[in-house]
Amino acid sequence: MAIGQVTRHRQLGLTDEQVLEMYRVMVTARKYDERALLLQRAGKINFHISGIGQEAAQVGAAFAFRKGYDYFLPYYRDYAFVLAIGMTLKDLMLSLFAKAGDPSSGGRQMPGHFGCKRLNIVTGSSPVTTQVPHAVGFALAAKMKNKDFVTYVSFGEGSSNQGDFHEGLNFAGVHKLPVIFVCENNQYAISVPYHKQTAAARISDRAAGYGFPGVTVDGNDALEVYKAVKEAHGRALRGEGPTLIETVVYRVTPHSTSDDDTVYRSKEEVERHRESDGIARFRKYLETCGLWNDDAEARLQEEIAQAVKEATEFGEKAPFPKPEDALKYVYAGDGEE
């Protein structure tokens, strides 16, 4: 057991309590996700798009931001990210069951389209990567208003081939805006594997074309992601401009509950990647530090299972939106704050 390994999180400025909280959020996101998949199979909900395999990267990124202060434009697999920022299991379940109390859209959007005014989570649109220019707009607002909030935006690697990505990064580079672009490279865009999406070796290399740093990190190593995002956050605060961070992960589930991934990849390939899971790796790290053991794990699993059960019942029993509320939030003056 290397000493450097044991103190790694403290060297990065994270307390023992914070890394334990990081682990709790990762496991919560995983359990939420597994329940959502089951609920869809049981016919209780229509659709789920999973973030399994990306939790460690998301939590590592989230902990580098200031909750309730910075602005967040997450993408549809960012369950662990939004849980780390302050959304609750009940919030997520209300969205999954398309109920009126869903903070993201009042039950009118597909799950995974996060929005939460109280947490500075900015609602996203369904066309992939449109959140990138939106995020750049938030970062421009910070600069124009002389405010020191930093904006987070995430997206998949397939989406980084869209025009919105390039326009957003170019503008942010020219104006040195305080925005962090996080590409969650999970190796697939639905059925299209990475090598058929782009000839570039790394998505992060694209940052050079826009005049700012790009870095690729192992997304299964939450602390490595934290370190990269924290550095980017510091750069943004010092007025040094944007950073592009590519977190390399693997999409363990089919694209969504509407997809059959066996037609374009083998079970063996998926199983191979399950073994490098970032949650298991983080648990091992905590054990090596003497912060975690089997008893603590059993207690956490029980606590989260109970919380997921309660949130599921809460979401299922909650009222649907009323038909007469269909135009709420659509036109100015129709909705609530």
Active site residues: 251, 255, 264
CB of 155 to ligand TPP, least distance (A): 6
Which strand (E) or helix (H) includes residue 157?
none
Size of the site for ligand TPP (CB under 6 A): 15
- Rule CB under 6 A: say whether 156 interacts with ligand TPP: yes
Question: Residue 101 or residue 156: which is nearer to ligand TPP going by CB?
Answer: 156
Question: Residue 40 or residue 197: which is nearer to Mg ion going by CB?
Answer: 197
**Residue 105, contacted partner among ligand TPP, Mg ion, none, CB below 5-8 A by kind:** none
- The correct pick among 158, 168, 214, 278 for binding ligand TPP (CB under 6 A) is 158
| Nearest one of 115, 217, 117, 200 to 165, comparing CA atoms | 200
Question: Residue 186 or residue 312: which is nearer to ligand TPP going by CB?
Answer: 186
- Rule CB under 6 A: say whether 134 interacts with ligand TPP: no
Instruction: Tally Cβ neighbours within 10 Å of residue 323.
Output: 6
- Rule CB under 5 A: say whether 156 interacts with Mg ion: yes
| Nearest one of 245, 199, 250 to 56, comparing CA atoms | 250
Cα→Cα distances 141→8, 44, 169, 172, Å: 36, 41, 16, 12
Distance between CA atoms of residues 99 and 101, nearest Å: 6
Q: Within 31-70, which residues bind ligand TPP (CB under 6 A)? A: none
Cβ burial 56-81 (10 Å sphere, 16+ → b, else e):
bbbbbbbbbbeeeebbbbbbbbbbbb
**Residue 307, contacted partner among ligand TPP, Mg ion, none, CB below 5-8 A by kind:** none
Question: Residue 187 or residue 312: which is nearer to ligand TPP going by CB?
Answer: 187
* Residue ranges in 219-293 assigned as alpha helix (H): 222-237, 267-274, 278-288
- The correct pick among 33, 102, 157, 246 for binding ligand TPP (CB under 6 A) is 157
β-pair partners for 121:
72, 116
Is 57 in contact with 216 (CB distance < 8 Å)?
Answer: no
Is 274 in contact with 249 (CB distance < 8 Å)?
Answer: no
**Residue 77, contacted partner among ligand TPP, Mg ion, none, CB below 5-8 A by kind:** ligand TPP
Span of 81-89, 101-109, 156-164, 235-243 interacting with ligand TPP by CB under 6 A: 156-164
Kindly tell me the sign of the dihedral angle through the C-alpha atoms of 257, 263, 267, 268: negative
Is 160 in contact with 203 (CB distance < 8 Å)?
Answer: yes
- Surface-to-core class of residue 141, CB atoms within 10 Å of its CB (0-12 exposed, 13-18 middle, 19+ buried): middle
Binding mask 226-265 for ligand TPP (x = CB under 6 A): -------------------------x---x----------
Span of 120-128, 211-219, 280-288, 306-314 interacting with ligand TPP by CB under 6 A: 120-128
- Rule CB under 6 A: say whether 127 interacts with ligand TPP: yes
**Residue 190, contacted partner among Mg ion, ligand TPP, none, CB below 5-8 A by kind:** ligand TPP
| Nearest one of 209, 128, 149 to 173, comparing CA atoms | 209
Span of 78-86, 102-110, 116-124, 185-193 interacting with ligand TPP by CB under 6 A: 185-193
Question: Residue 233 or residue 251: which is nearer to ligand TPP going by CB?
Answer: 251
- The correct pick among 50, 186, 216, 220 for binding Mg ion (CB under 5 A) is 186
- Surface-to-core class of residue 282, CB atoms within 10 Å of its CB (0-12 exposed, 13-18 middle, 19+ buried): buried
* Binding residues for ligand TPP (CB under 6 A): 77, 126-128, 155-159, 186, 188-190, 251, 255
